[in-house]
Amino acid sequence: MSERGPHGVFGGTFDPVHVGHLRLAEEAREALLLERVRWIPAGQPWHRAAPQTSPAHRLGMVRAAIAANAAFEVDGREVASGRPSYTVDTLTALRGELGDAVSLVLILGADAFALLHTWHRWRDLFALAHIGLATRAGQAVDATTLDPALATELAARTGSDARVLRERPSGAIVRFDMTPLAVSATDIRARLARGERCRYLLPDEVFEYIRLNRLY
Ligand code: ATP
């Protein structure tokens, strides 16, 4: 196993990026002892309606939001690809670059995890990365409401100890508690459209980016 700490991988639409995303990444970093967190904005998400804002601006907002955190970095590969990107392909490419030894941890909120069985080649994800699973805004993962195949993987792969992330490069699901923050990009878009400034829901740098570029 590599001497390097596990690397977090955090994908999302980020339309716009908000404090819920920032706390999720930071609390994952602290709870799972991640060396760094790589933020990967989706270009054209394949699984949901087209974002309101262009990929380049969503990337720009993430850059602005994370600039002050030395453990965060932005990865523009999905935005640059210009076509729908699948996480399995992105993780395969990252593995090719980082090698087989480094531990990768895909960070997911509980709502995103509950849809994992709908992702392209979702079972292949476990050979590429671990999953760091957060509880979002009181939505605990209730295995009885999950897709049965996903519930089976969850039961087989969940361990309580984040040390597993340093012992092997992929394959485990580690849960961590996250401060509940009922903030969503959908709600923020509606507020911005009404002319609200959304102070403290978004970093000031992101609001400034939105204002300068006349987004939302
Ligand atoms: P939308 O409201 O447009 O659906 P969103 O705010 O849920 O957007 P996404 O970009 O779809 O943001 O989310 C990326 C990831 O961040 C997902 O794993 C999601 O579960 C997680 N996430 C988003 N908001 C929060 C939050 N308030 N607390 C914890 N996790 C969150």
Query: Are 131 and 155 a contacting pair, CB within 8 Å?
Result: no
Atom of ligand 1 nearest to the CA of 187: 2
- For ligand 1, the distance from its centroid to the CA atom of residue 61, given in whole angstroms, is 15
Report H helices in 119-173. Answer: 148-157, 164-167
Report H helices in 108-147. Answer: 110-113
Residue nearest to atom 17 of ligand 1 (CA): 109
Q: What is the radius of gyration, based on Cα positions, of the chain?
A: 17
Q: Name the residue of 10, 19, 21 whose CB sits within 8 Å of the most ligand 1 atoms, as the mutation to test its pocket.
A: 21
Q: How far is CA 174 from CA 93, 140, 160, 177, 213, in A?
A: 23, 14, 6, 10, 39
Residue 186 Cβ contacting ligand 1 at under 6 Å: yes
Q: What is the pLDDT of residues 126-183, one digit of tens each?
A: 999 999 999 765 566 777 889 999 999 999 999 878 899 999 999 999 999 999 898 9
User: For residues 88 and 85, what is the distance between their CA atoms, to the nearest angstrom?
Assistant: 9
Residue position matching structure tokens 């392209």: 120
In order of their start, the domains of the chain are: 7-182 (3.40.50.620)
- For ligand 1, the distance from its centroid to the CA atom of residue 184, given in whole angstroms, is 6
Residue 20 Cβ contacting ligand 1 at under 6 Å: yes
SS3 state of residue 49: coil
What pTM was estimated for this model as a whole? Answer: 0.95
pLDDT-wise least confident of 68-72, 138-142, 192-196? 138-142
User: For residues 16 and 186, what is the distance between their CA atoms, to the nearest angstrom?
Assistant: 9
